[in-house]
Structure 1
Amino acid sequence: MSDSPGAGGQSPQNSAAKGAALAREKLAQAKADAVRRGQLPRSEPRRRKNGGARDAADPQLFGGAIRDLLADRGWEQSVAVGGVFGRWREIVGPELASHTKPESFEDGEVLVAADSTAWATQVRLLAASLVRRLNEELGDGTVLRVKVHGPNTGPRPGGGLRVHGSKGPGDTYG
């Protein structure tokens, strides 16, 4: 019954094709009427009467509205830092990023956590180049220093079955 004629003896597919053809015909007729009246759609935007300045009631572009909101609230730097933290792997490289994580940014100082003291030492050695790279992303003078801490293993356990003396490898207890 899928090929049975619809209302008026036409199949639904035939009816849709006729409707689309009719719509194209009416659109062409409307365009021709507009040309005769000299009312073609503009190819360039209309010029504003007030010299191009936007009125407060005019709709704003989304990106501009977001930038204005961030500026009004003083969130520009926080958003930029969050973007850098989110792209940490891309900025510092996959190997360093797999062993480190940025934790905070305050007063020009980025605090980085390393998963071992060896990686903490590596980040300390790379601190100057990290500051330079982060300032490329955030703007000169935004990051002043990089502070690093190793793994937080907590206090060393005490007890009777403990060998007193040296602490052992520094990598074990930060």
Structure 2
Amino acid sequence: MTTGGDSEHTPGYEVARKALEQARAEAKAAGKQVGHGRTGPLAGSTRKTGDRKRRRWSGAGPDSRDPQPLGRLTGSIARARGWSSKINEGTVFASWEGIVGTDISAHAEPTALTDGVLHVSAESTAWATQLRYMQSQILAKIAAGVGDGVVKSLRITGPSAPSWRKGPLHVSGRGPRDTYG
């Protein structure tokens, strides 16, 4: 160590300490606040730009500019464009077996969803009757699986009756039952 003004033999840390003290003294004289913590953009400072607040540096935490999961992005786009109701309707058809169970889905399938009314076609009249008895339970399962208000009621139909109509020409009347005059 040297005493006096001999800067050739002064250690580097002493020179750095003196430079820091001098800079603090000059800043204090100019009226700026001097502290030991970080100042500037890395300390999380923000600036007002127009009507939005923008961070200058993202730092270690999550930021809106970071990559987002695809599901979250598609969900926000669907909500912004008003597609959520159509997506919920499609979910009813896509996950029908998961919602109502394998037993019911093996014997009935949804055919249309219009204005909150789900049209379900059963494979037999017996299954159609059974599904009508279970209608409130099926509606509760759909509300739990997809969301409340997507399906408000069910319209359950059995198989259609066979057509007696043969060929392109048709004469009105009772048809084949009217053979004995």
Q: Report the TM-score when normalising by structure 2.
A: 0.53
Counterparts of 1:27-106 in structure 2, within 5 Å, are 50=54, 54=64, 60-106=68-114
Per-residue Cα deviation, 1:85-110 (whole angstroms, up to 9, x for no partner)? 22212221222111100112222211
Identity of aligned residues (%): 30
Q: Is the 8 A contact 2:118 2:154 kept in 1?
A: yes
Offset, 1:77: 2.2
Counterparts of 1:114-153 in structure 2, within 5 Å, are 114-153=122-161
Q: Is the 8 A contact 2:89 2:150 kept in 1?
A: no
Report the residue type matching 1:127 in the other structure: Q
Structure 2 CA distance for aligned equivalents of residues 149 and 88 of structure 1: 17
Residues 48/136 of structure 1: CA separation in 2 closer, same or farther (3 Å cut): farther
Gaps of 5+ in 1: 1-46, 164-174
Point out the structure with the larger strand share.
2
Q: Is the 8 A contact 2:99 2:141 kept in 1?
A: yes
Structure 2 CA distance for aligned equivalents of residues 105 and 125 of structure 1: 20
Aligned residue pairs, count: 116
Offset, 1:125: 0.7
Residues 119/59 of structure 1: CA separation in 2 closer, same or farther (3 Å cut): same
Aligned alpha-carbon RMSD (Å): 3.0
Gaps of 5+ in 2: 1-43, 47-53, 56-61, 166-174
Please identify, of 60-69 and 143-152, the stretch whose mean Cα deviation from structure 2 is larger. 60-69
SS of aligned partner of 1:153 = coil
Structure 2 CA distance for aligned equivalents of residues 153 and 111 of structure 1: 17
Larger Rg: 2
Structure 2 CA distance for aligned equivalents of residues 119 and 162 of structure 1: 34
Report the residue type matching 1:72 in the other structure: A
Q: Report the TM-score when normalising by structure 1.
A: 0.55
